Every structure is written in C-alpha cells, then in structure tokens.
Amino acid sequence: MRYYAGRHRLLLLVSPLAFSVVQQQLCSLTQFFWGNQSGIFRFYDPRIFPELFNHVLTPGQQDAFNQLGYFWGWLDRDNQQTWRAGKFQPHSDAVFLPHELQFTDKQIDAIGCISDADIAARMYTGTGLTPEALFGRCLEAAFAAARSASGTLEDYLDTIVHNPGKAHAAE
C-alpha cells in the first residue's frame, strides 16, 4: 500500500468477510464470457472501476461486487478519495458462490468506449480541465462516436473536449 500511496492504482474493499471468501469471489469475477469467448475482466483498475458500474454491469452483476463489503475505495484521476457503498448485510444468509459474468455485445462495446476514453484522455494537454473532467468528456465523445453512423472518435473528441457546447450538434 505504501508503494501505491498517492497513485490512482489501488482499489480497496472494506469487508468483514474472511479473506479466503473475498479472494474466491474476486478471482471468479475476473473471468468473463462473451459468446463462445472468455477473457479477463480487469475491474480492479480504479481508472475504470466506477465506469463499469455506470455503463457496463447489469444490476445483478453489480450485486456480485457489492455484496462483498461495506465500501469500495480508490483515488480518482484528480487524486481525490472516492467511495462506493457496498451492500453487505451482516446477518445475511447469502451463500457466496463464484459468479460467472456473461457479457452482451453492448457491454463489450461499452468497455471498448471506456478504454478508448482512457487512451484519449492521456493524449490531450492544455485543456484547462482536471484529469477527471477530461476523462469524462473523452468518455462522452467515445459513446457519441459509438452511437453515430458517421464521424470518427477524433471528430467527437475535438468537438466535445474543446467545444462542449457544440457536442450535440455533432450528432
């Protein structure tokens, strides 16, 4: 933890569960299935963790994470401590079985948009925006480009990052 102090690379889970139970659950949540393919789901990266809840995971998939503890915590891109409440119930009779994450095409597309936005946000400098605000605008551009039948991500980035008032005119 000392090594990662002050960096937005550490994701914390405050949980009363035994470490072995949390470990088993989190390990199962790193694997996802999409059609006939499987992959590693990197939910543990705080740069994308909140966006997974906002744009990707279904309520049932969110519950698989939320039932594990009281809170999730991380430093955002602006180095501000951020907390997300979990839904752990101390007197729950829930049996913790490994979860299997099945993703749809729409969920995979949303993950792609989050990745594109993260890469794009690192390319822009001198915008006057905080890193978190810049990422938010890049994410908005990535989703707008994905919905669009015309235009590229770069077109939307130029419009949304530099001229946010004109963002809807580009669509």
Residue 71 CA: distances (Å) to CA of 21, 49, 97, 144, 168: 16, 13, 20, 32, 36
Q: Is the pLDDT assigned to residue 6 strictly greater than 70?
A: no
Contact 74/49 with Cβ under 8 angstroms?
yes
**Residue, of 159 and 93, whose pLDDT is higher:** 159
Question: pTM value?
Answer: 0.84
Tens digit of each residue's pLDDT (9 = 90 or more) over 40-81: 998 988 888 999 999 999 999 999 999 999 999 998 999 899
